[in-house]
């Protein structure tokens, strides 16, 4: 599938990039990692110590920096994004520059350099969005779908959408575990808040399923169960024998009480399998 291919992961120094790179290195392929974070690039360089990996320092907002990473690439897995809800609420135009303009830049260059396929990572926050992060990711999806209609022959583009990845960077679980280990009160924004949780293994399985099966402009959604954040906090307290009272902080800027994986209109027109929409 990936043997003798060149692959680009944008935002490749994040949690998904690290896990997916580990998967790709099983193949006889070359992997380009594009990101803005030189420290994390250095850490990955030391961690993987592989001649199969090329690192490119740059931002998807900057076409000239990104173009160097796309030359001769066969497939792109697009994970670069601004993902923190409060940060995007305070700086919405920064979310637009990265999550909206960035993907448009990526598609322009992918077409120019005859890339065969793009799989872009999206989020449940793009469904019925109420915050700047979700709105910008929803626009990212719309751009991919729109441009896939226009450019039908040269490149195949698809989207994967999922909820919270357990233990990923910025996930609440590492925070809860750290607080529980230190015998501190767990801090919770809203006990009634629900979130969809999946493992990194499930996220990668979804991406590979989409890569193998995508028809131009399709969105792939992994079926997942939701849990209340109060239940998650209680489980962590039980595991680490933390008897402190949970501290309720109140919702952060732009946070939804309940997320949704797909709109009712999408479900009505989707194909359902055992694991996916």
Q: CA torsion sign, 109 to 111 to 113 to 118?
A: positive
This prediction has a pTM of: 0.93
The pLDDT tens digits for 104-132 are: 999 999 999 999 999 999 999 999 999 99
**What average pLDDT does this structure show over 226-254?**
92
Q: Is the dihedral of CA 125, 63, 15, 119 positive or negative?
A: positive
- 137 counts as catalytic: no
For residue 140, pLDDT beyond 70 = yes
Residues 177-190, mean pLDDT to the nearest whole number: 93
| CA-based nearest residue to 198, from 239, 161, 159, 236 | 161
Instruction: Note the pLDDT of residue 173.
Output: 86
Catalytic residue among 40, 125, 137, 256: 125
User: For residue range 34-45, what is the model confidence (pLDDT) as tens digits?
Assistant: 999 999 999 999
Q: What is the DSSP letter of 276?
A: B
Say which DSSP state 251 is in.
Answer: P
What tokens does 32 get? 């380009």
Pairing label, strands 187-188, 247-248 = parallel
């Amino acid at each position: 599938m990936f043997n003798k291919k060149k692959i680009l992961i944008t935002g490749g120094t994040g949690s998904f990039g690290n896990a997916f790179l580990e998967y790709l290195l099983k193949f006889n392929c070359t992997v380009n990692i594009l990101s803005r974070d030189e420290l994390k690039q250095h850490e990955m360089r030391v961690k993987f110590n592989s001649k199969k990996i090329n690192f490119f320092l740059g931002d998807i907002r900057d076409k000239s920096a990104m173009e160097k990473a796309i030359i001769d690439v066969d497939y792109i897995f697009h994970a670069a994004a601004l993902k923190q809800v409060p940060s995007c609420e305070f700086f919405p135009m920064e979310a637009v520059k990265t999550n909206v303009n960035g993907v448009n830049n990526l598609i322009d260059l992918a077409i120019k350099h005859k890339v065969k396929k793009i799989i872009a990572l999206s989020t449940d926050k793009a469904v019925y969005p109420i915050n700047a992060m979700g709105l910008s990711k929803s626009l990212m999806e719309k751009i991919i779908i729109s441009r896939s209609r226009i450019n039908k022959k040269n490149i195949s583009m698809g989207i994967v959408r999922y909820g919270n990845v357990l233990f990923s960077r910025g996930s609440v679980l590492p925070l809860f575990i750290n607080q529980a280990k230190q015998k501190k009160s767990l801090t919770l924004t809203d006990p009634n808040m629900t979130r969809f949780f999946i493992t990194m293994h499930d996220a990668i399985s979804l991406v590979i399923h989409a890569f193998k099966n995508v028809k131009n402009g399709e969105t792939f959604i992994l079926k997942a169960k939701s849990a209340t954040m109060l239940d998650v906090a209680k489980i962590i307290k039980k595991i680490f024998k933390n008897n402190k009272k949970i501290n309720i902080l109140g919702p952060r800027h732009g946070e939804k009480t309940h997320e949704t994986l797909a709109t009712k209109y999408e479900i009505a027109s989707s194909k359902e399998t055992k694991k996916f929409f």
